[in-house]
Amino acid sequence: MKVLLSWLREFAPGIDGDPADLADALSALGLAVEAMTVTGEVPAGVVAARVLSLRPHPDADRIQLVDVDDGRGDAVQVCCGAFNMAVGDIVPLARVGAVLGGGTEIRRRTIRGQDSFGMCCSGAELGLSDDADGILILDGLLPDDGPGGASRPEPGTPLAEALGLGPDVLWDLEVNANRPDAMSVMGVARDLAAAVGVDFAAPEWTSPPSGEPASGAISVEIVDPTLCGRFHARLLRGVTGAESPAWMRRRLTALGMRPVNGIVDVSNYVMLELGQPSHAFDLAELPGGRLRVRRAADGERIVTLDGVERTLADGDGVIADGDDEPIGIAGIMGGRSTEIGPDTADVLMEMAWWDPPSVSRTAKRLNLSSEAATRFRRGADWGDNVERAAARFCQLAAELGMTVASGAVDERGDLPDRSPLRVRTARINGMLGTDLDAAAIGGHLRSIGFEATPAGDDGEDLDVTVPTWRWDTSTETDMAEEVARLHGFDNIERTVPRSSDAGSLSGYQQDRRLVRQVLVGAGCDETQPMPFLAPDDLAAAGLPSDGIVLTNPLDAGASVLRTSLLPGQLQAVSYNQRHFNPAVRFFEIGHVYLPPPEGQLLPDEPEMAAVALAGEEAPEAAAVLSALSEALALPGLEIRAGARPGLHLTRSAEVIVAGRYVGEVGEVDPAVLERFGITGPVGWLQLDLTAVLGGPHGNRTYKPVSKYPPSDVDLAFVVPDGVAAAAVERSLRSAGGALLAEVDLFDAYRGPGLPAGARSLAYHLRFCAPDRTLTDAEVSRLRQSCVDRVTQKTGATLRT
Amino acid sequence: MTQTEEMLSELALAAAAAEGRLAAADSLEAVTAAEREVLGRRSVMAEAKKSLGGLDPDRRRDAGRAVNQVRERLEAAAGRARARLAEAARAARYESERLDLTERLNPIRRGRLHLVTQARDRLEDVFVGMGFTVVEGPEVETAWYNFEALNIPEWHPARGEFDTIFVNLGQPEEVMLRSHTSPVQIRTMEARRPPIYVVAPGRTFRADTADATHLPAFSQIEGLVVDRGITMGDLAGTIDEFVKAFFGGEVKSRLRPSYFPFTEPSAEFDISRPDGSWLELGGCGMVHPQVLSNCGIDPEEWQGFAFGFGIDRLAVMRYGLDDIRELVNNDVRFLRQF
């Protein structure tokens, strides 16, 4: 909502002072100032000039030569790049020596051999409008000189004087949804007047009544009182083609509305000034002058003012004519059939109060909004302001030459309850942390038009009646907010409450940080791709295409939720390879979204940890898994060979912890890598962190360190390819028992000297007893039983 | 010259010769050979010692002292020779092992935590220090948790402002990507009784086209306190304490009236910049009594406040990023800067 200082002052003349201070006061009221502009300051040396002749430039197509009369006698030649002027137009001329906004000084120039003694200006160049395309033609903006005519200034008149401009301040305010009143100049003035402590009053407006009673020609029936709380209608005859006055067009323009024609401008002006939207129907198109306000039937159709045919649904509010044909969508937009046209003579002017949820639902369903709908959705005023705004409308219409019928048709439906509300002083102070008495609270509330009278046993509380312009305000808490706003947030003493518990991270959160630190220590950089995928991404990654679909995606390339971190990581690797960084080590921790099982509404959302090692193979990924396993003390970690979707058929495995599947490790399927444009292998690890950290982990028991020297034994086995090294290690451990302190696979060899289909696995074994030095005989027996167990259990042979 | 004197003089001559050889020795073997020659079993020294046995006690003592002096002198010379050789060997080893430590091959490369993780961890730590616990919730939510329980009924104009991303589960617009972390407030209040002091960091979603200042997926952190006698003054004081702890003691905070359906009174909170201007950081307010009631908490007994702000923006501010999309591009040249 934009407001002008000059306009505010028509409601509260006492508002004065430094515009920056007033802006601070507005912000402190909750009307955040998003922009402040000082307007109406036209640079010295810019004058009104009359166009005398227009001639082509002999040597330039895009420039014409303009002779203007600037009031100093001789014609002044100007080279001008705009072509929207006609001979006789009054235009702004920046004379040589004038300094425009931004510091541009106008000098005499020669353009392709032709002299230019000044510059004709656009509205944007003067800060008067946003229009930068053509020269500002002043004729439509000059102040009125009596009804119907505008005075044409003498050439040479300073522009500010010619336009009747004085300095003004324009504030662009952010108005919150709970402040329907502040969607008007009057509402902002009321708040600001209260904050700076000056008087506020709305002017009285009247128009000469014609003697014809409105009720003789128009009638309104509210069929559904839950839709329409009030319908106020006036009759105006003799619509003229007169344009609205220049001052009105200037204010509309300043507040961001485009002037259209007399009656539309009046409607918009009253809405901006008083917050009451209105709508004018062509009376000739209303059979019997009758209106019916009702809910739509499913499938009813209406062509709205914007020319679009819209299909209504059960529950939408409509205004229908005497034949019950819908001619307007309640509170949102009028219909094409009763639109004011060049032949319109008489109009029915509607000023109504619509049920906010009804308007909201329809506006949302039709995806149709308007300035009126914005106000009705927040809750317009249903009280005296309706009459005030109607009177203002009629007064302005009368100034355009229309005749206003006497009286009004005013029908009522269900209106919000405004019985007094008990407001407890102790409760207000208890919410705010203040120490205000009932008088202070009442004073704040009365300053913005609330009624507040002492109540309670000792008069320590208040009975408050909320004004009709505050639809959203109805509870004691709402009162606390008003009091806080007017008391000033800065005047509330700051205190710090203390939790009786110590703050902490949960075990899960601490372990997740540990996982991150291990992965960072392993040289992996943390990535955070967005969780959206294109429909084909899951299939491209070799995964089932069962991702949850977004119903309103921003673009088709991001319309599916990930079920695995794999596609996002591959995209990250691919991106970096395209940018000449082929070997990245990445990790990510984030949610995946699994389609919910039957009978469950929300997806399962496990948090996954993934590692992608570009240019590295499966064993590197398994090494990262080992590091994590050691850090988290995962019990019974198993790497169980098996194909995983998206992974290399013979280089992937399931990760099992304590007998439970928790993830996958290996290498990404080369076919998948090809689809993502990745060169070289990618080592891959993905763990369901929710499952891993939700399961047993982190249990460590102390074993005394032996004081006796260990005995080391190296063994190498020829192991068939079908036998897992894990199986060999299991056999070694089971044979070595408690005396086998360490097993370390130090070499895996495939190649010459070995039978086909087998490899050599070489282990360091360290034997140690807690209570003695093992004898050679003991070590020898242990060695032999290890060899025997491995060869018997796995079919491996000792390599000699 | 007695026989003894002769022997001693011979010993002296041999010793002098040996000393010369020790001084010139260029290997441990040469030192040992020279030693053995003078001090060994068949050496002049051994002969001299043997001859001492035939002397009367007085002369034996004098002659023995002289023999010992020679032996000591020779042993010292041998020690010096060994030390000299050891020193030379050490020097030679140092010279042969000389390395240029600026030849940095195979560096140990530590990875980096994502900028948003770093900011989030720091925020969590500050709030934990202030007595808060950290809670989390699902990213796909129902309309109840994302809107209705937060006092945003289906017709409310504020709903439109969230630019919610919906998913094809349940009824139309029943399930969505959470548009803020506030659903975690509701889940927390449903799950436990006050007093509640929690912060809820996490990812949130809006149907915003990604550009230099917007992402459709971003991170927020939200705080919730519900306890007896909690006031707006407590809210302002808590925010001030956080701002000082996180940004530094010289940074001030202020509250400005605003509107959120789930808090009342509502405010935006700003922090001061060094130039005296204010920067809007987030929103806050007193938990709306209706929200407490929706979670089965009696608003006459308990009061609370909530606050929230963007985590990504903090990261963007701290390093002056000119394009927030860097946070999700995962370009290693970006990731490794922090």
In whole angstroms, give the CA distance from residue A428 to residue A440.
Answer: 11
Cβ contacts of B241 on chain A, cutoff 8 Å: 496
CB contact under 8 A, A433 and B139: no
CB contact under 8 A, A523 and B133: no
- The CATH number of A421-488, from 2.130.10.10, 3.40.50.300, 3.30.56.10, 3.20.20.70, is 3.30.56.10
Interface test with B, best of A181, A551, A570 (most B CBs within 10 A): A551
* Full pLDDT tens readout for chain B, 338 residues: 577 778 788 888 888 888 899 999 999 999 998 888 888 888 878 887 887 777 788 888 888 888 888 889 889 999 999 999 999 999 999 999 999 988 888 888 999 999 999 999 999 999 999 999 999 999 999 999 999 999 999 888 888 888 999 999 999 999 999 999 999 999 999 999 999 999 999 999 999 899 999 999 999 999 999 999 999 999 999 999 999 999 998 999 999 999 999 999 999 999 999 998 999 999 999 999 999 999 999 999 999 999 999 999 888 988 999 999 999 999 999 999 99
CB contact under 8 A, A528 and B116: yes
CB-based contact (8 Å) between B71 and chain A? no
Contact between A484 and B231 (Cβ < 8 Å): no
The residues, any chain, with a CB within 8 Å of residue A77's CB and separated by 6 or more, are A65, A66, A67, A114, A115, A116, A117
Which A positions 489-508 lie with beta carbon below 8 A of chain B?
Answer: 489-490, 492-506
A209-412 sits in which CATH class?
alpha beta
In whole angstroms, give the CA distance from residue B250 to residue A546.
Answer: 52
Q: Which residues pair with A652 in a beta bridge?
A: A666
Question: What ipTM did this prediction achieve?
Answer: 0.88
Cβ contacts of A357 on chain B, cutoff 8 Å: 153, 155
CB contact under 8 A, B165 and A550: yes
Backbone angles phi, psi at A666, to 5 degrees: 150, -135
Distance from CA of A606 to the nearest CA of B (A): 9
CATH topology of domain B115-335: BirA Bifunctional Protein; domain 2 (3.30.930)
Cβ contacts of B203 on chain A, cutoff 8 Å: 531, 590-591
Domain boundaries, chain A: 2-40+167-196, 46-163, 209-412, 421-488, 507-694, 711-798
Nearest by CB to B155, which of A178, A357, A522?
A357
Domain boundaries, chain B: 3-96, 115-335
Residue of A nearest to B200 (CA): A505
CB contact under 8 A, A503 and B139: no
CB contact under 8 A, B233 and A494: yes
CB-based contact (8 Å) between A426 and chain B? no
Alpha helices in chain B (DSSP H): 3-24, 28-39, 44-52, 57-96, 115-129, 143-146, 157-161, 183-191, 232-247, 289-294, 311-319, 326-329, 332-335
pLDDT in the model for residue A161: 79
CB-based contact (8 Å) between B267 and chain A? yes
CB-based contact (8 Å) between B330 and chain A? yes
In whole angstroms, give the CA distance from residue A590 to residue A291.
Answer: 58
- The CATH number of A507-694, from 3.40.50.300, 1.10.10.10, 3.30.930.10, 3.30.300.20, is 3.30.930.10
Tell me which CATH code domain A711-798 carries: 3.30.70.380
In whole angstroms, give the CA distance from residue B145 to residue A466.
Answer: 31
In whole angstroms, give the CA distance from residue A214 to residue A435.
Answer: 54
Cβ contacts of A377 on chain B, cutoff 8 Å: 157
Distance from CA of A595 to the nearest CA of B (A): 9
CB-based contact (8 Å) between A524 and chain B? yes
Tell me which CATH code domain A2-40+167-196 carries: 3.30.56.10
Distances (CA, A) of A142 to A52, A136, A255: 19, 12, 18
Which A positions 162-181 lie with beta carbon below 8 A of chain B?
Answer: 176-179
pLDDT in the model for residue A149: 44
Tell me: cis bond preceding B195? Omega within 30 of 0 counts.
yes
Nearest by CB to B232, which of A475, A478, A484?
A484
Contact between A641 and A724 (Cβ < 8 Å): yes
pLDDT in the model for residue B55: 79
CB contact under 8 A, A602 and B140: yes
Distance from CA of B166 to the nearest CA of A (A): 5
CA atoms within 13 A on the CB side of A335: 24
Strands of the sheet with B263-272, listed across from one edge? B133-134, B196-205, B217-227, B303-310, B278-287, B263-272, B253-260
Residue of A nearest to B201 (CA): A509
Tokens of B22: 């020790």
Q: Which residue has the tokens 């060169």?
A: A679
Residue of A nearest to B259 (CA): A176
In whole angstroms, give the CA distance from residue A724 to residue A721.
Answer: 7
pLDDT in the model for residue B105: 84
Which A positions 327-356 lie with beta carbon below 8 A of chain B?
Answer: 356
pLDDT < 70: residue spans in chain A: 130, 140-151
Nearest by CB to A525, which of B207, B259, B336?
B336
CB contact under 8 A, A526 and B113: yes
Interface test with A, best of B177, B186, B225, B231 (most A CBs within 10 A): B231
CATH architecture of A46-163: Beta Barrel (2.40)
Contact between A410 and A232 (Cβ < 8 Å): yes
In whole angstroms, give the CA distance from residue A437 to residue A424.
Answer: 10
In whole angstroms, give the CA distance from residue B99 to residue A602.
Answer: 62
CB-based contact (8 Å) between A424 and chain B? no
Which A positions 429-468 lie with beta carbon below 8 A of chain B?
Answer: 430-434
Same fold, A2-40+167-196 and A421-488: yes
CB-based contact (8 Å) between A232 and chain B? no
Tokens of B151: 């006092």
